[in-house]
Structure 1
Amino acid sequence: MKTKSNDKLFEGSVEIYMSTLKFLEYVLSEPTKEYEISFEQFLVLRNICNNEKVTQMGIAAQRNVTRSAISRQIKSLLRLGYISQTPDQKDKRKLYLHLTKRGAEVEQLIDRKVHLVFEGWVAKFGQKKVESLLKLLKEFGNQVINPN
């Protein structure tokens, strides 16, 4: 039901989206540009770096996106030589993703740069406020965006 107070909340959310959330994506993507990848592709590299036996389907399921969305990201990372694929010994259709030497270097370089950005935010905003913000956003995500 549309009410005046909800109208103000809606307008406030649009303003935050336009001024903050879009900027957040831009700032986080900045360190990835020099390596010709998106922030999402960096997260794929990070996932491969931090987990064993990573597959396209596993990443798609974890992120709740389609296989084709991840496939486009994977193809680009393969083309750039940041990752490789090896088939499972028992099921050759299942391909495991691995970082190449260059991919591991790129993942580490971007990770350092992104962490520096985040550390700057914590220094400006304070650890307690960042923790509260993350808790609130997680709760919002769990209850509104992905209630399952």
Structure 2
Amino acid sequence: MEKDKVRQLIKSYEETYIFVTRQLHDAIAEQILGKQGISFEQFLVLRYLAEHGESSPNDLATALSMHKSAITAKINRLFEKYLVHRMKNVEDKRGIRLTVTDNGEKVYQACEQKLEELVSNWLEILARKTANNF
């Protein structure tokens, strides 16, 4: 490959990375999650539970690479909004298990649909931009 094309690919990657980390996060927070009254991090917890089923706070902290105290705060907010259900862990009386409520499932599905639409639109834009650069 020519050196100029390699440099152009690196530049395109850099632009894409910056676009995704800044623009995508902000747009998701504003356009999708703000309407549901949850933060991006709360959505990640809700999404994990919806996709993986019943979990413990420790499972969530590990899977999402978050500190347990941060997970606890997010769980509390989701619980207050009736999006997750807490139940005692039958195997460990001190622990709890978490599941998504029916309302939580509706919020997750609505957010996921909007997220897919948003990302799909942006991928089309990036594809056109990339095609024009080469």
**Normalised-by-shorter TM-score class:** 0.7 to 0.9
CA deviations over 1:25-67 (Å, ceiling 9, x no partner)? 1111120111110111111111001113311111111222210
Change (3 A) 1:113 1:20: closer
Partner Cα distance (1:98, 1:20) in 2: 30
CA deviations over 1:66-102 (Å, ceiling 9, x no partner)? 1011111110000000001111212122211111111
- 1:23 aligns to 2:23 (yes or no): yes
1:110-121 equivalence runs, <5 A: 110-121=111-122
Partner Cα distance (1:20, 1:63) in 2: 19
Residue 94 of structure 2 aligns with an amino acid whose one-letter code is: R
Give structure 2 stretches of 5+ with no counterpart.
1-13
Runs of at least 4 residues of structure 1 off by over 2 A?
A: 19-24
Q: Which of structures 1 and 2 has the larger relative contact order (alpha carbons within 8 angstroms, sep 6+)?
A: 2
Q: TM-score normalized by structure 2?
A: 0.75
Residue 26 of structure 1 aligns with an amino acid whose one-letter code is: D
Partner Cα distance (2:115, 2:41) in 1: 13
Partner Cα distance (2:44, 2:126) in 1: 24
Instruction: Give the paired residue count.
Output: 113
Percent sequence identity over aligned pairs: 25
Q: Note the C-alpha offset of 1:20.
A: 6.1
1:72-83 equivalence runs, <5 A: 72-83=73-84
Q: Could you say which residue in structure 1 is the equivalent of 2:94?
A: 93
Q: TM-score normalized by structure 1?
A: 0.69
Partner Cα distance (2:110, 2:123) in 1: 20
Residue 95 of structure 1 aligns with an amino acid whose one-letter code is: I
Partner Cα distance (1:72, 1:41) in 2: 9
